[in-house]
Amino acid sequence: MKLFKRIIKYLLILIGGAGLAIAIAINVSPRPFVFFLNHAAKDEAAIRPRAYQGYRDQISIKKDVRYSSQSAKNTMDIFYKKDNRTKPTIIWAHGGAFVAGDKSGTTYWATKMAANGYNVVSINYTLAPDRQYPTQVNQMREAIQFVHRNYAKQLNVQKVVVGGDSAGAHIASQVIAAQCNHQLATAINYHHLRDVKIVGGLLYCGPYDIKQMVNKKHVDTMTKLFVNQVGWAYLGDKDWKSSAKGRLVSTVNYVNKQFPPIFITDGNNGSFEAQGKELYHKLREEGVATQALFFGKGRKVNHEYQFDLDSRAGKECFEDTQDFLKNLD
C-alpha cells in the first residue's frame, strides 16, 4: 500500500512537472503548440464521395507542379478538362490553421469541380512559423502569376476565381483585398497581378477578423490559447493583437467597392461563422455582389463541412457555388 501511494505521489509530481514544462514552453515559442497541431492534423482524412471515380474519369490531373516562388512548399496540383478554357479558373489555398495542412485535402472537391466545368489549381504554400504573414498572401499571388504565364493552353488564365478553405480562405481574402485596396497592398508589399483579372472569390469557413475571437465575451480558455498561439505563429509576434500586423491581417478592415463578387459560407459549430457574416455584411454595405450560405440553429454544421460532398450541407454548398460561378461566366 505504501509503495502504491509512493508511485501515485511520484506520478503526480511527474505530471505536474510535465504540465509546468509545457506551460513554460508555449510561453517561450509557438513551436511546441504548432508541433501538437501538426500531429493532430495527421489523423484527419478527407471524405471520398461515392461518385468520385466517375468525376476522376472525366478530367486530367497534374500533380506537384513546382511554381516560381521566393518561398518553400511552392507546389500545385492542376485539375482540368481538356479544351475547357472558357470558364474562369479557380486558384485554391488549403486550410490548416496556417501551420498545417496540404493541398491533397482538396483533391476530391477539386476533382468534382473540374468534372463540373471549372478547372482548379490547388496550391501548397509555406507554413507558419517558418515564414510569417504576409508571405503566404504574396505566395498565392506568385502561384496565380505562374499559372498565367505557363498554362494558357490548358486553362483560362485571364480570368481567375480566388478561393480557399479555413486558413486558406483567409489567405484568398487577403489576395483579393490587396488586389483591390492600395493601402493594404503597400503595407504588405503586394505586387498587383499582371494581365490577370480576379472575377470572383470563394471563401469557405475562414477567419477574416482574427482579433474578434479573443476579444469577444465568453470565449473559453482553450479557444483563447489556440487563437493566441496560432496568431503568434502566423504573425511572428507574441503580442500580435497590438501589432501593426494584427490590424493588417483582418480582411474586414480593407473591404471596398472594388471587390469582385464573393461567395461566403461557414458552418455554425466550431467555426468562424460570426466572422463570415461580418465580412458578408461589410461587402454588402460597399455594394459588392455577395452570396452567402449560412445555417440556422436547428442544424449543426461543422467547420469545413463543404468537403463532405455527399452530406446534405455539402451538396447545398457545392450547388450554391456552381450557381455563383455561372453568374461569373
Instruction: For residue 99, give Cα distances in angstroms to 102, 114, 167, 234, 281.
Output: 10, 28, 9, 8, 29
Closest CA to 253 of 272, 278, 227: 278
Average pLDDT on 106-133 reads: 98
Please, which pLDDT band fits residue 23 given cuts at 50, 70 and 90? low
Percent of the chain with pLDDT over 70: 89
**pLDDT number for residue 226:** 87
Higher-confidence residue of 324 and 211: namely: 324
Rg of the Cα atoms in the chain: 21
pLDDT tens figures, 133-177: 999 999 999 999 999 999 999 999 999 999 999 999 999 999 999
**pLDDT number for residue 118:** 97
Flag whether pLDDT at 130 surpasses 90.
Answer: yes
Average pLDDT on 182-203 reads: 97
Please, which pLDDT band fits residue 29 given cuts at 50, 70 and 90? confident
Please, which pLDDT band fits residue 5 given cuts at 50, 70 and 90? very low
Please, which pLDDT band fits residue 110 given cuts at 50, 70 and 90? very high
Longest dimension (CA), the chain: 79
Which CATH number applies to 44-326? 3.40.50.1820
The DSSP symbol for 117 reads: T
* pTM of the full structure: 0.92
Report the chain's mean pLDDT, rounded to a whole number: 90
Whether the upstream peptide bond of residue 129 has omega within 30° of 0, thus cis, is yes
Domain spans, the chain: 2-33, 44-326
